[in-house]
Chain A
Amino acid sequence: MKRRPKRHAIDFYLFFAVICLLVIGVLMVFSASSVSAYNQYNNAYYFFQRQIIWAVLGIIIMLTVSGIDYYRFKNLAFSGYILGLLCLVAVLAAGKTINGAKSWILLGPMSFQPSELAKPLVVLELARILSQKQKKIRSLREGLGPPLVSLGVVCGLIMLQPDLGTTMVLLLTGFTMLFVARARFIHLSLLAGAGAVVAAFLMTMKSYRLERLQTFIDPWRDPLGSGYQIVQSLYAIGSGGLFGLGLGQSKQKYLWLPEEHNDFIFAVIGEELGFIGAAGVLLLYALLAGRGLQVARKAPDTFGRLLAAGLTSMILVEAIINLAVVTGSMPVTGVTLPFISYGGSSLLFKLLGMGILLNVSRHTVDEEKPVQRELGL
């Protein structure tokens, strides 16, 4: 066992970015959801109140976890992964179908989304496997085989719900981790090619997915049908201009925009806060990416490095897919905007992941020093 460097303070910018996104999220959930909350529950604060509770709980979890040394999780990673699998099996057996997908387990008044739990657990497990297989990483069977099997099983279970969005997030996150873990480019290319083939196959298998693709190419083809969501989203963003209509002033949230506090919350941000606000959110994600990957670079060991890179990728992949969908840059896929969209499970488990990332940030070492030392300069 290597001698561990002494812990220092968490990465403040990373923490700052997460908190900023959370604050914006809570505010925007309130603004965006007030109309539909009033309509549905006769209480404009319905989603706002819940989101605040989740955010506070999440911050507590994040800060707590940031105090637990990340390498302690290495031995727990496999057990965690099994727990995740069990939850995913449970949801298929006893889950509730919402919007055509069996993604939720109801626990009394609470609901729990196992796929949200699975995301950080899969990252943890992949980081463990990949760090242990570093020497065989160039071998397809011995190096890449085990992590791909772990990833494949989870993705397979999630696709049974079916939840294409989460599967995509997991696959892309896993792919970036393989990339960071020095998988051979030829293998990565093969994987990407296989992914493309599978994607094409899935696309033709379900007619609604093909329709989504057509709608992506021309949303106004059927603005009241399949193009409805994206058209309403573009209306909202386009109405924002530079400064936006002002906080709370969205018109599209008046039941025009579907999932306005959820998948399409960024459209409300664009409408109310304008380019300034929307670009600000993008910059916060950029800051999170920069600092998270910086943590990965400076992580003292391979496990920490892969863990930091994986957790950061997990957030960024999800954010980018969501932003691309909402701005009409890719076909509609049900993915939320991390830290901003409404949702307890999503928030809690992402903040759990951020807690781990923040803990890694406490162990970073100046990356130049070990290099110089090893080179003897």
Chain B
Amino acid sequence: MYTTSVEMRKRITILLTLISMVLLLLMSRLAYLQFVKGNELTDKAIDNRLREVPVEARRGTIYDRNGKELAVSISSEAVAAEPRRVTDPEGTAAKLAPVLGMDKEVIKKLLTKKTGFVWIKRKVEDAKIKQLKQMESSKEGELAGIRFIPESSRYYPNDNLAAHVLGFATRTDAIGAGGIEGAMDKELKGIAGKIVSERDAAGREIPNGESKYIAPIEGKSLVLSIDETIQHFAERELDNIVQKYQPKHTAIIVMDPKTGEILALANRPDYNPNKYWEFDQQTWRNFGVSDSYEPGSTFKVITAAAALEEGAVRPGDHFYDPGYKEVLGKKIKCWKAGGHGAQTFVQVAENSCNPGFITVGLALGVDKFTQYLQAFGFGKQTEIELPGEATGILVNPKKATLLDLATMSIGQSNAVTSIQLVTAVAAVANDGVLMRPQLVREIRDVNGNVQQIQPKQVRQVISKSTARELRGILENVITNGTGINAYLEGYRAAGKTGTAQKAGPTGGYQQGKYVASFVGFAPADNPKIAALVVIDEPQGAVYYGGQIAAPAFKAVVGDALKYLGVPPQLTQSDVKDKTEQPKAQRIVPQLINLPLGEAQNTLFQEKLTWSTEGQGKVVLGQFPLPGAEVAEGTKVTIYLGQSAQGIPADSEVTVPSVIGKTLREAAAMLALTGLKMEPDGSGVAESQNIPPRTKVKAGTVVKVKFVPPTKPPDNPALAPEGGGAEGHEGP
């Protein structure tokens, strides 16, 4: 048996050698893992065991200027899961589904995800969390792997109030969107903290494990310039407007003209930021800030301001309105058929007379006019603390024709935002100083540090004296003119109406689509409040700004002044004179040659009733006759028929100054005024035989002497073709 045992021993030795070698290899592998890869694996292992539980920072509160809460954070909890720890996904999902109101299969899918952590539902109401926690504690392990994580959710105590000012914080991640929540998200959100600790696979902390708590830094609180009460007034009036006229959009902005602080800003359609997700995204849009429109007559405030400042017109200057103004061969109609006849500039403003303002605008010139538009802040953002602000669109002055200038001066062609317009008009109220519209007054941190935001003067746009002069004119608009419906008992208010026909998407103006507005301020001698009411596409027969926007202005501004404790200025007798008399007695307006609808509107505005006789679309006669004093509500009989407009050939017009103009310009200017020109020589006008501002009969020939220019004309040659200036402008 020698060979047998020797061979076996030999093989046993080989086997032992093999085993030893394998053990040696394993030992090397061990050394490699523990020494070479040791640090890397240790780090990865700790990383793997570390759980970072975010601790949300409480979002800052938003207050109104009086410390009333507009947006607060309240605590709630999220339901999350650690899928690895979930022992029974099917059963757990079945238990969670009814309480959370979610689909069982959806939850099951989440619970079986191959990940360490998954959110099931965020911001769950307290009652439901309680229910789940009870379920968990009643039978052990019932909800294995389910975690409850505290977080805060945003609450807006006043629901829709000032929704567009506030915006909202998204319900899952509390990210500010829209409004102040979006614009000031960085300040409001604070810095999230976290708990970092070594956990077992079930998510519980390991004894003696590493752990670190990084406290969150609470978000800063904001004090807005908004006054909750005035905001209420504005919201109330918008509700009225919506109920009566069902407009596409409508907005009211109330501003303190001295500081530029926004006291109220409201839009319709609106939404409830507490459940913003239930509303169409279009309702989140801040119409007053993000949308621009052609303002129409309210813009005449700007035309007047520029012209008065430049001396292009004086309040007492005389104008004649034949019912239209011809510019470059195009007739731009006055809103009042037949025109306003002879008027002073103050009356032009009171009547919102288009030919009058066109004359003034033409006298000012494109460059000057544009310069003022820019100085008033049009064409660029106002820098209000709101996201999505539009710039508006200004006609390029280098390409502007006289026709453009003409339409611009009555508020067409240029598009502005509501916030731009109210800010510009507030500058008139503020002695000519344009302020930045301001929403945030204070930023407060959690330690009580208060950062005050100071009002910012942008620039002096017009002089103090011009501003005061214009305020007087605008006051007359309310007491005597188209703004009568904004008349505030006991207060001197100043303002301007506007009714603009909307431009269609392809150019030209759309029949029956208007933007009615009213902009103004009060008290006129020491303005405390400036406000703008805009109504986009009101439905129904009544659409003039003076009819539908002015009453809202009156209600908001009147209530705000009383609320602010501004003492009434006029005596009771003044009030009687101004309010009761005009209310009782009405002057029958001129209706002849007006289209039927317009005649009816005019009568409506004058608080008169009517009956019609005959067939046709144009008023041929009326009774009582124009100018008759009648009681409010008197029935005016209007006789209808088919007729062309009459043109009063012997009306009186004011001769413009053509000195310094080119032949073509002078001809255009005189033609616009209704005069004829007899040129003498060529170049630029040196003299004219009838001095400027003289009243003459329409059609009078003016002799103008031209001499070769000493320098090139400021104004490039006028383009012969006209723009789409068929816009219908109302008061």
Question: Interface of A with B (CB < 8 Å)?
Answer: 35, 39, 134, 176, 179-182, 222, 224-225, 232, 234-242, 249, 251-252, 254-256, 270, 274-275, 278-279, 282, 285-286, 289-290, 293, 296-297, 302, 305, 309, 313, 316, 320, 323-324, 327-329, 367, 370-371, 374-375
- Bound form: Cα–Cα A305–B84 in Å: 50
Instruction: Tell whether, in the assembled complex, residue A286 and residue B9 are in contact, meaning their CB atoms are under 8 Å apart.
Output: no
- Bound form: Cα–Cα A237–B41 in Å: 8
- Residue in chain A with minimal CB distance to B32: A327
Cβ contacts under 8 Å, A375 to chain B = 2
Say yes or no for B275: interface residue by CB 8 A criterion.
no
The number of residue pairs between A and B whose CB atoms lie closer than 8 Å in the complex comes to 148
For the complex of A and B, list the 9 residue pairs with the smallest distance between their C-beta atoms, beginning with the closest.
A238-B41, A254-B200, A235-B45, A255-B201, A255-B200, A293-B16, A239-B42, A275-B34, A289-B19
Interface residues as binary, B18-38 with A (CB distance below 8 Å gives 1, 0 otherwise):
011011011101110111011
- Bound form: Cα–Cα A241–B38 in Å: 6
Contact of B4 among A182, A286, A290, A323 (CB under 8 A): A182
- Residue in chain A with minimal CB distance to B11: A180
Q: How far is the CB of A11 from chain B (nearest CB, A)?
A: 15
Instruction: Tell whether, in the assembled complex, residue B42 and residue A327 are in contact, meaning their CB atoms are under 8 Å apart.
Output: no
- Residue in chain B with minimal CB distance to A320: B22
Instruction: Tell whether, in the assembled complex, residue A327 and residue B26 are in contact, meaning their CB atoms are under 8 Å apart.
Output: yes
Say yes or no for B74: interface residue by CB 8 A criterion.
no
Given contacts A249-B208, A255-B202, A371-B6, 6 further A-B contacts (CB under 8 A): A234-B37, A236-B45, A239-B42, A313-B15, A328-B33, A329-B29
Say yes or no for B198: interface residue by CB 8 A criterion.
yes
- Also in contact, A289 and B20, with CB within 8 A (given A251-B49, A256-B48): yes
Say yes or no for B711: interface residue by CB 8 A criterion.
no
Contact of B20 among A240, A286, A297 (CB under 8 A): A286
Instruction: Tell whether, in the assembled complex, residue A282 and residue B16 are in contact, meaning their CB atoms are under 8 Å apart.
Output: no
- Bound form: Cα–Cα A370–B15 in Å: 22
Contact of A297 among B1, B9, B44, B116 (CB under 8 A): B9
- Residue in chain B with minimal CB distance to A257: B201
- Also in contact, A238 and B40, with CB within 8 A (given A274-B34, A327-B30): yes
- Also in contact, A252 and B45, with CB within 8 A (given A286-B20, A296-B12, A320-B26): yes
Q: How far is the CB of B494 from chain A (nearest CB, A)?
A: 72
Say yes or no for B571: interface residue by CB 8 A criterion.
no
- Bound form: Cα–Cα A241–B33 in Å: 8
Q: List 17 A-B contacts (CB under 8 A).
A: A134-B4, A179-B11, A180-B15, A224-B116, A234-B41, A238-B33, A238-B40, A251-B198, A252-B49, A254-B200, A255-B202, A270-B30, A275-B35, A279-B30, A282-B23, A282-B26, A289-B19
Question: Interface of B with A (CB < 8 Å)?
Answer: 1-2, 4-9, 11-16, 19-20, 22-23, 25-27, 29-31, 33-35, 37-38, 40-42, 44-46, 48-49, 84, 114-116, 198-202, 206, 208-209
- Bound form: Cα–Cα A270–B27 in Å: 11
- Residue in chain B with minimal CB distance to A313: B15
Instruction: Tell whether, in the assembled complex, residue A289 and residue B16 are in contact, meaning their CB atoms are under 8 Å apart.
Output: yes
Cβ contacts under 8 Å, A179 to chain B = 11, 14-15
- Residue in chain A with minimal CB distance to B16: A293
- Also in contact, A320 and B23, with CB within 8 A (given A182-B4, A224-B116, A293-B12): yes
Instruction: Tell whether, in the assembled complex, residue B200 and residue A256 are in contact, meaning their CB atoms are under 8 Å apart.
Output: yes
- Bound form: Cα–Cα A234–B202 in Å: 20
Instruction: Tell whether, in the assembled complex, residue B15 and residue A327 are in contact, meaning their CB atoms are under 8 Å apart.
Output: no
Instruction: Tell whether, in the assembled complex, residue B9 and residue A367 are in contact, meaning their CB atoms are under 8 Å apart.
Output: yes
- Bound form: Cα–Cα A270–B34 in Å: 8
- Also in contact, A176 and B45, with CB within 8 A (given A240-B34, A282-B26, A327-B29): no
- Residue in chain B with minimal CB distance to A296: B12
Instruction: Tell whether, in the assembled complex, residue A254 and residue B49 are in contact, meaning their CB atoms are under 8 Å apart.
Output: yes
Cβ contacts under 8 Å, A236 to chain B = 45
- Residue in chain A with minimal CB distance to B203: A255
Contact of A182 among B11, B27, B35, B202 (CB under 8 A): B11
- Bound form: Cα–Cα A180–B116 in Å: 51
- Bound form: Cα–Cα A375–B1 in Å: 11
- Bound form: Cα–Cα A141–B14 in Å: 26
Instruction: Tell whether, in the assembled complex, residue A256 and residue B35 are in contact, meaning their CB atoms are under 8 Å apart.
Output: no
Q: How far is the CB of B201 from chain A (nearest CB, A)?
A: 4
Cβ contacts under 8 Å, A323 to chain B = 26
- Residue in chain B with minimal CB distance to A181: B8
- Bound form: Cα–Cα A256–B85 in Å: 11
Instruction: Tell whether, in the assembled complex, residue A238 and residue B42 are in contact, meaning their CB atoms are under 8 Å apart.
Output: yes
Cβ contacts under 8 Å, A249 to chain B = 208
- Also in contact, A225 and B41, with CB within 8 A (given A270-B30, A296-B12): no
Instruction: Tell whether, in the assembled complex, residue A237 and residue B16 are in contact, meaning their CB atoms are under 8 Å apart.
Output: no
Q: How far is the CB of A291 from chain B (nearest CB, A)?
A: 10
Cβ contacts under 8 Å, B48 to chain A = 232, 235, 256
- Also in contact, A224 and B114, with CB within 8 A (given A234-B41, A235-B41): yes
Cβ contacts under 8 Å, B206 to chain A = 251, 254
Cβ contacts under 8 Å, A255 to chain B = 200-202
Instruction: Tell whether, in the assembled complex, residue B15 and residue A285 are in contact, meaning their CB atoms are under 8 Å apart.
Output: no
Q: How far is the CB of B328 from chain A (nearest CB, A)?
A: 77
Cβ contacts under 8 Å, A289 to chain B = 16, 19-20, 23
Instruction: Tell whether, in the assembled complex, residue A327 and residue B45 are in contact, meaning their CB atoms are under 8 Å apart.
Output: no
Cβ contacts under 8 Å, B201 to chain A = 254-256
- Bound form: Cα–Cα A254–B199 in Å: 8
- Bound form: Cα–Cα A224–B37 in Å: 20
Instruction: Tell whether, in the assembled complex, residue A282 and residue B30 are in contact, meaning their CB atoms are under 8 Å apart.
Output: yes
Instruction: Tell whether, in the assembled complex, residue A235 and residue B44 are in contact, meaning their CB atoms are under 8 Å apart.
Output: yes
Cβ contacts under 8 Å, A176 to chain B = 15
- Bound form: Cα–Cα A35–B205 in Å: 12
Instruction: Tell whether, in the assembled complex, residue A302 and residue B4 are in contact, meaning their CB atoms are under 8 Å apart.
Output: yes
Q: How far is the CB of B693 from chain A (nearest CB, A)?
A: 89
- Residue in chain A with minimal CB distance to B25: A329
- Bound form: Cα–Cα A328–B41 in Å: 13
Q: How far is the CB of B459 from chain A (nearest CB, A)?
A: 63
Cβ contacts under 8 Å, B31 to chain A = 275, 279
Q: How far is the CB of B303 from chain A (nearest CB, A)?
A: 71
Contact of A316 among B14, B19, B202 (CB under 8 A): B19
Instruction: Tell whether, in the assembled complex, residue A238 and residue B38 are in contact, meaning their CB atoms are under 8 Å apart.
Output: yes
- Also in contact, A282 and B9, with CB within 8 A (given A238-B37, A241-B34): no
- Bound form: Cα–Cα A327–B45 in Å: 15
Cβ contacts under 8 Å, B11 to chain A = 179-180, 182
Q: How far is the CB of B665 from chain A (nearest CB, A)?
A: 81
- Also in contact, A238 and B34, with CB within 8 A (given A255-B200, A375-B2): yes
Instruction: Tell whether, in the assembled complex, residue A290 and residue B7 are in contact, meaning their CB atoms are under 8 Å apart.
Output: no
- Bound form: Cα–Cα A274–B22 in Å: 20
Contact of A286 among B23, B35, B42, B115 (CB under 8 A): B23
Cβ contacts under 8 Å, B16 to chain A = 289-290, 293
- Also in contact, A237 and B34, with CB within 8 A (given A179-B15, A180-B15, A289-B20): yes
- Residue in chain B with minimal CB distance to A252: B45
- Bound form: Cα–Cα A297–B8 in Å: 8
- Residue in chain B with minimal CB distance to A180: B11
- Bound form: Cα–Cα A285–B9 in Å: 20
Instruction: Tell whether, in the assembled complex, residue B34 and residue A224 are in contact, meaning their CB atoms are under 8 Å apart.
Output: no
